[in-house]
Structure 1
Amino acid sequence: MSALTEAFAAAEAAGIKQHRIQVGDLLFNVARFGKGRRLLLLHGWPEFWLVWRPVMERLGLEFELIAPDLRGCGDTGKPFPGPDATATADRHAGDMFGLMDALDIKRFGVVGGDLGAYVAQAMSHRAPERLEGSFYFCTPYPGLGFRYGQPSHLIEVWYQYLQQLPWAAELVGSSREACRIYFRHFLDHWSGDNPKVFSDLLEAYVDNFMKPGNIQGGFDWYLSSAPNRRLWLEGKLPPKPPINVPTRFLWGRRDPLILPNWSDRLGEYWTNYSLDFADAGHYVHAEVPDVAAREIRAFFSGLRAQSAAE
């Protein structure tokens, strides 16, 4: 039995079920757990739905957790056999609203980080009336500006350029060991250089990325977001109206990729938000799931109490 099969079996034994749901021409893999108010959990890169298992198990008594594999990731379908430059944040947002429509869920909360944070922002601009609230971990947003690409930070973002090259996925997937070395770097380093966070799941992650199309499927995000990312770094990205959806940010104090002090411009892009920090790196939800679940619970429960009082 592969490490990934074992991880899926353990999740299923805990009550988490995976389903296949058709959205347009794409078949999505979706993990579901719990009962209560609906929360859509959006993973980042290099992740897939399994990263949410610790948070799901901690929130299942109060919420219905819906954790899809995003377009090109995990066991969700791959729309193209090769590189795909159309997997933008807006395309992902359309996928997610389509998914929730297929589940007959009209209004829900959204939780995301990294790639999932881009998608949540696109969803907030596209149909804010459908979102009860949004909860973000370490969040890339236009306010990072040129800082994200400054010379002193290139050592952290080099991969975003490599992964746009047409042969990058073939190189990373050329052997299981090459795949392991590549993804272990991001899992360990972004966890505040703490290899214990993903050590038990490393082989499951390698199994996932060695599935046909999964390396390229994740790389497609960087290919698709490159034009806007360049405008962002150059200060030329056309501005959008601020997001009015009630929002909570929980930032890792030790995140090497999106530095916590770069949260300084959130007020230019969100009108109704709160911010706090956790003793974690980039993967707050995986590194300190007790803290993540507690904060998610408090935020969405607070929104319900506020709504009831109005």
Structure 2
Amino acid sequence: MRSVPHRDPEDASWGHGYLLDTTGHRVHYTRGGSGRPVVMLHGWPGFWFDYRLLRPLLEPDADVIAVDLRGFGASDRPDLPVAEYGREAQAGVVRAVLDGLGLGEVVLVGYDVGSAVAIQLARDAPDRVTALVLGNPMHPAAGRLALSPEYRGEFWYQDFHRLRLAEQLIDGEPLAVETYLRHFYEHWGGRQQPLGSAHLAALVRTYAEPGAFTAGLNWYRSGSSTIFAAMAARTAPPPPPVEVPAAVVWGAADPVFPLPFAEGLGETLPQHTLTVLDDVGHFVPLEAPDEMATAIRSVL
């Protein structure tokens, strides 16, 4: 991985901007570079800064927009029903960003929560998405596997996030936020160097703001997370495939979405290609920015 000078997320050189979504609430994004538009969607625990290493690599080739989803980062955290924080609503938030910026067709990049939202938007508006580039993406076949006894225990946090106890213990408490989020970076990460103290400090500053941690829990409380979406899918017809080209980069060292979870991906993304990185964990854009940049350039 080539060296990229560290810039704090507050640095004005990232090109911060705001737009209003269809509910009238602010959506924060950063933007830089020139070329075809590439829109990046973060995971949990994260915000647009998940792409701090990837964005500079792409700026010579693309107009790179990294979005804070509703309730994350510097986007508004409105008091709305939790369904308005789910995958369909978040896809609508991203679509509002595309409209507000006057973007027609884009390449969508995502991992974790961002992968689910990207797939949803490609399903809802295939005319707006020329290609997907995804790290360890959520998909229905993986959800079924996540419910099996072999893997179910790794998803304990999704049950915890639905409890009011989670916010009572952690929200607005910087030390608690740091301790909790550090666990996921250390446990889920493969290449640890990019997940170091400077990045964690920026993450903690964002999530330790009063109300910020709780707002991030609304994704789980909406029923959009892997486990609860998989349980709902047991009695629902399978969603139609997404007929958009997709470049998938899979970190095989991810304990929460290990390589067996890639099985069945073709049911959702029949036009996908798969690249496996043995030493990369869950945080693919941070751990493997060069490989992700290569995947994005392949669909530009």
TM-score where L is the length of structure 1: 0.88
- Any residues of structure 2 matched to 1:115-264 within 5 Å, and which? 115-173=113-171, 175-192=173-190, 194=192, 197-225=195-223, 229-230=227-228, 232-233=230-231, 235-264=234-263
1:89 to 83, 87, 90: 87
The 1:98/1:110 distance shift into structure 2, 3 A limit, reads: same
Shift of residue 8, structure 1, vs aligned partner: 2.6
Which residue type is aligned with residue 8 of structure 1?
A: P
Change in 2 beyond 3 A, CA 1:193/1:150: farther
Name the residue aligned to 2:73.
74
Cα deviations across residues 183-209 of structure 1 (Å, max 9, x unaligned)? 001112111383762322212111100
Does structure 2 conserve the Cα–Cα contact (< 8 Å) formed by 1:34 and 1:61? Answer: yes
Compared CA separation, residues 193 and 52, structure 1 to 2 (3 A): closer
The one-letter code matched in structure 2 to 1:167 is L
Task: Write the deviation string for residues 223-274 of structure 1: whole angstroms up to 9, x where unpaired.
Answer: 0025984462463232121110111110001011111122110121222111
Preserved contact between residue 131 and residue 246 of structure 2 (Cα < 8 Å): yes
Q: Is the 8 A contact 1:33 1:64 kept in 2?
A: yes
- Read off the aligned partner of 2:111 and give its amino acid letter: G
One-letter amino acid matched to 2:95: F
Counterpart of 1:62?
61
- TM-score, scaled to structure 2: 0.91
Aligned to 2:9: 8
- RMSD over equivalenced CA pairs, Å: 2.0
In 1, the alpha carbon distance for the partners of 2:107 and 2:224 equals 28
> Residue 212 of structure 1: CA displacement?
2.5
What is the CA deviation profile of residues 288-309 of structure 1, one whole-angstrom value per residue up to 9, with x for unaligned ones?
Answer: 2122212221x223xxxxxxxx
> In structure 2, what is the Cα distance between the partners aligned to 1:291 and 1:134?
15
Indicate conservation of the 8 Å contact 1:254/1:282, yes or no: yes
User: Given that residues 228 and 237 in structure 1 are in contact (C-alpha distance below 8 angstroms), is that contact kept between their aligned partners in structure 2?
Assistant: no
Q: SS at the partner of 2:8?
A: helix
Once the 2 structures are TM-superposed, how far is the Cα of residue 168 of structure 1 from its aligned partner? 1.3
Q: Which amino acid in 2 is paired with 1:67?
A: A
* Contact 1:192-1:256 within 8 A present in 2 as well: no
Q: Which moves more between the two structures, 256-265 or 143-152?
A: 143-152
State the alpha-carbon separation in 2 of the partners of residues 35 and 74 from structure 1: 24
Q: Deviations over 1:60-80 (max 9, x none)?
A: 011011011100001100111
2:4 aligned residue: none
The equivalent of 2:102 in structure 1 is 104
1:187–1:195 Cα contact (<8 Å) kept: no
Aligned partner of 1:283 in structure 2 is 283
- The answer on whether the counterparts of 2:143 and 2:226 sit within 8 Å (CA) in structure 1 is no
Mark the runs of 5 or more structure 2 residues left unpaired by the alignment. 1-6
2:226 and 2:204 map into 1 onto residues whose CA distance is 30
Residues 96-154 of structure 1: CA deviation (Å, up to 9, x unaligned): 11111011111111000000011011101101011111111011110114321223323
Which consecutive unaligned segments of at least 5 residues does structure 1 have?
1-5, 302-310
Q: 1:78 to 1:187 in 2, by over 3 A?
A: same
User: Is the CA contact (8 Å cut-off) linking 1:20 and 1:30 kept in structure 2?
Assistant: yes
Aligned residue for 2:263, secondary structure, equals helix
Q: Which residue does 2:3 correspond to in 1?
A: none
Matched residues, number = 291
Question: Is the CA contact 1:145–1:235 (under 8 Å) kept in the aligned structure 2?
Answer: no
Other-structure match for 1:304: none
Asked if the contact 2:155/2:227 (under 8 Å) is kept, the reply is no
